[in-house]
Amino acid sequence: MHSHQHSQLIKDTANMLGFLSCGIAQAGFLTEEAPRLTKWLNEKKNGEMAYMENHFDMRLDPSKLVDGAKSVISLSYNYFTNQSQIDSNAPKISKYAFGEDYHFVIKNKLKTFLQILKENIGDFNGRVFVDSAPVMEKAWAQKSGIGWVGKNANLITQKQGSFFFLAEIILDIPLSYDAPATDHCGTCTKCIDACPTQAIVDPYIVDGSKCISYFTIELKNEFPKEMKGKFDNWMFGCDICQDVCPWNRFSKPHQESKFNASETMLNMKASEWKELTEETFQLIFKNTAVKRTKYEGLKRNIDWLSK
């Protein structure tokens, strides 16, 4: 098998495993991203996310993660849903966290993916990643032609919008490479205009320390007083900059049953959220990404919204 046959096998396998899209880029040092990341960190736009400062070289050079890395496969996996919380006054949860934790769902698919490749290609050195290692996934996704990094710093595609997870396979075999995606944000500023905390400080630059998702998930200290009343009733994550993006009119509901929300969660009224007990929290969010905040964190968020 030659590189183009290997590449076709990879794309066929991605499709078979239910991935939304698959692109392949040549591995190499991310020269354009290096100064941007340095500036972003120096300006403390990572807030309390100290882990963003770790493994700087690994973030920019895939060969630091996989010896002899030659190719980066970028994959997207749909999580868009038409499900919604019944009570419009209830504190809100980002769509990505409705169902089972995506880390586990996608990691299992990636392990199967790698196994299929080794059975067909032979032995090679490769690793899989899903939002859990120092990989600049959006940069690689754009290089592989999946989509472009939009003004809200999310990866966007013309055909599917932006409600999807990203994952990567880095491996040490040469492949046929896709052309990078081009930007299609144009003059649109809907995401910038809609952000209640003005977290999109410049087109394409998000100050992580001002983002509602950061406040409700990452921040362990007290909320800044100046943010009072600006969370738009979000208790975990935030979808505003995606909800207003015109490209998301092309989003189609996912086909992953593990991403479906529990009826209990969807049916909870605002009053029930205010009285949330640890027992109910464990029951509803047992295997979801919301577990990351722990009960105390989610309760803090809910209390902040209702004060």
pLDDT digits (tens, 9 = 90+) for 105-125: 999 999 999 999 999 999 999
pLDDT recorded at residue 20: 97
Is residue 7 one of the residues assigned to a domain?
A: yes
169 versus 34: which is more confidently predicted?
A: 169
pLDDT recorded at residue 1: 62
Q: Is the pLDDT of residue 48 over 90?
A: no
What is the pTM assigned to this prediction? 0.94
Q: What is the CA radius of gyration of the chain?
A: 20
Q: State whether 205 and 296 are in the same domain.
A: yes
Is residue 65 one of the residues assigned to a domain?
A: yes
pLDDT recorded at residue 136: 93
List residues with catalytic annotation.
131
Q: What value does the mean pLDDT take over residues 41-56? A: 77
* Count of Cβ atoms closer than 10 Å to residue 84 Cβ: 12
**Domain assignment of residue 301, given as a range:** 190-248+261-306
Number of structural domains the chain divides into = 2
Q: State whether 233 and 89 are in the same domain.
A: no
Is residue 98 one of the residues assigned to a domain?
A: yes
Token pair in block for residue 133: 């290692």
Is residue 255 one of the residues assigned to a domain?
A: no
- CA 171 – CA 58 distance, rounded (Å): 15
Token pair in block for residue 175: 């492949």
Q: State whether 10 and 123 are in the same domain.
A: yes
Per residue in 273-303, pLDDT (tens digit) is: 999 999 999 999 999 999 999 999 999 999 9
Q: State whether 80 and 167 are in the same domain.
A: yes
Is residue 129 one of the residues assigned to a domain?
A: yes
Q: State whether 283 and 166 are in the same domain.
A: no
φ, ψ of residue 199 in degrees (nearest 5) = -75, -25
Q: State whether 167 and 199 are in the same domain.
A: no
Estimate to the nearest angstrom the gap between the alpha carbon of 125 and the chain centroid.
Answer: 26
According to DSSP, the β-strands at 92-93 and 155-156 are unpaired
Q: State whether 137 and 203 are in the same domain.
A: no
